[in-house]
Amino acid sequence: TGNGAGYFGGGLFVNYGAHTTANNPFAGNSAGQNGGAIAVLNGQLAVTHSTFTGNSATTGGALGNLGGALGLRSSIVAYSIAG
């Protein structure tokens, strides 16, 4: 919560490998380029039962996928801003 990154994934950045995250709040994160809360570049990420609120980035206010695989299940995305 409340994290920032200059380029990708203010809360979490996945570059390689397969990862999972569950039951997490991602709130108030920001990134200068893509994925205010989470950005996936070349890896895989499965997200379940998580909440995304108030995140921001130039592209992908809450979530950004830059060529990897991003799955979102049973989660809430609200009040996030891109642009």
> What is the rounded CA–CA span in Å between residue 57 and residue 72?
18
Amino acid, res. 24: N
Q: What is the pLDDT of residues 13-65, one digit of tens each?
A: 999 999 999 999 999 999 999 999 999 999 999 999 999 999 999 999 999 99
Q: Quote the pLDDT of residue 73.
A: 97
pTM: 0.93
> What is the rounded CA–CA span in Å between residue 15 and residue 74?
24
